[in-house]
A = this chain, B = another copy of it.
Amino acid sequence: MTISREVRLKSRPVGLPSPETFELASVDVPEPGRGEAQVRNIWMSVDPYMRGRMMEAKSYVAPYQVGKVMDGAAIGEVVTSRDRALSPGDLVLSGFGWRERFNAPVGMLTKLDTRDVPAQAYLGVAGMTGLTAYVGLLKIAALKDGDVVFVSAASGAVGSIACQIAKLKGHTVIGSAGGPEKCAFLREIGVDHVIDYKAEENLTKALMRTAPDGIDVYFDNVGGAHLDAALASSRTFARFAECGMISQYNNTSPGEGLKNIGVVVPRKLRIEGFIVSDHLDQQPAFQKDMTQWIAQAKIHWRETVDEGIENAAGAFLKLFSGDNFGKMLVKLA
């Protein structure tokens, strides 16, 4: 028997999650059964979409259950295997985050190739995070030559990859982020025009000043005032890839509401929400492109790493305060 600590949903949060939302517990992990492996997690991911799973409402993924361990993406090392497909020491990607150790059928574990890509990058730039940026830009927004691209939360895990893919494809990119440090990073990765939204009183005016001829693509991670600004600045036939609305996830009331939706008709906009798991057909193309871009040092990324399962809830909360920088990770071992 081995002890594993895990994080459970203690109660469903109203508004911003608090210490009352999470509960740290210990469980015994038995020996793995036939066809299973035991994995010791090394890295786990915290992601904005998990806020949605804390609510009871049915959505595109099942809600977390009160009193039960949460889940999410994690990378771990196989410690025991009862299947020939995996051996001790193998690094695997799984959906069994928010815990230190677990048993799972080997079919639920993806063995990783870490020759060119560091393991934890499979939770970010080389994983679902990067694929989200890739799908949103190339498939949902259907990026085409000459498009001016606006990305919000542009220094974030998804946003920073979206900016760089757009730059690699030759586009003018406008990125918004909060604070001088994040804005400096955007300039480092080649973003053409940077908006520090925390320094702007009126985001719509800031964007219209930055993109006087308007934008053709908006990669939205934020919603709210950012979405209104993008609507105001949109050119005819602009496409909005709606990836997330982190500014809204902890709202307890609908708040102000979106003011500028009226332009959708005369400007013939397309506003489309997407969830990466519906677009796994893009995975092979993404894997090929991204592995090459990483090998050629054409893609840069930041990570914020907190240590220990006991700090996972705090790491999650940084996603909403903006205290993380780039991909937020928790190192478990």
* Interface positions of A (Cβ within 8 A of B): 52, 59-60, 223, 227, 236, 242-245, 248, 254, 256-275, 278
Q: Are B256 and A264 in contact (CB under 8 A)?
A: no
One of B257, B260, B271 near A271 (C-beta < 8 A): B271
Copies in the complex: 2
One of B263, B269, B273 near A269 (C-beta < 8 A): B273
Expressed in whole angstroms, the minimum distance between the Cβ of A63 and any Cβ of chain B is: 11
Cα–Cα distance between A274 and B270 once the two chains are bound (Å): 9
Cα–Cα distance between A260 and B227 once the two chains are bound (Å): 13
A254 contact set on B, CB distance < 8 A: 259-260, 262
Q: Are A275 and B265 in contact (CB under 8 A)?
A: yes
One of B243, B261, B266, B275 near A261 (C-beta < 8 A): B261
Cα–Cα distance between A261 and B270 once the two chains are bound (Å): 14
Q: Are A52 and B266 in contact (CB under 8 A)?
A: yes
Q: Are B257 and A265 in contact (CB under 8 A)?
A: no
Q: How would you classify the secondary structure of chain A's contact residues: helix, strand, loop or mixed?
A: loop
Cα–Cα distance between A223 and B262 once the two chains are bound (Å): 8
Q: Are A266 and B275 in contact (CB under 8 A)?
A: yes
Cα–Cα distance between A83 and B106 once the two chains are bound (Å): 81
Cα–Cα distance between A273 and B263 once the two chains are bound (Å): 8
Cα–Cα distance between A236 and B257 once the two chains are bound (Å): 22
A257 contact set on B, CB distance < 8 A: 256-259
A258 contact set on B, CB distance < 8 A: 257-258, 261
| Residue of A243, A261, A268, A269 with most partner-chain B CB within 10 A | A261
Expressed in whole angstroms, the minimum distance between the Cβ of A77 and any Cβ of chain B is: 33
Q: Are B271 and A264 in contact (CB under 8 A)?
A: yes
Cα–Cα distance between A264 and B268 once the two chains are bound (Å): 17
Cα–Cα distance between A269 and B60 once the two chains are bound (Å): 12
Q: Are B261 and A267 in contact (CB under 8 A)?
A: no
Expressed in whole angstroms, the minimum distance between the Cβ of A226 and any Cβ of chain B is: 12
Cα–Cα distance between A271 and B236 once the two chains are bound (Å): 15
Show 27 A/B contacts (Cβ-Cβ < 8 Å), sorted by A: A52-B266, A59-B266, A60-B266, A60-B267, A60-B268, A223-B261, A223-B262, A227-B261, A244-B265, A245-B261, A245-B262, A254-B262, A256-B257, A257-B258, A258-B258, A261-B261, A265-B273, A265-B274, A268-B272, A268-B273, A269-B273, A270-B271, A270-B272, A270-B273, A271-B271, A271-B272, A272-B272
Q: Are A275 and B271 in contact (CB under 8 A)?
A: no
Cα–Cα distance between A227 and B262 once the two chains are bound (Å): 11
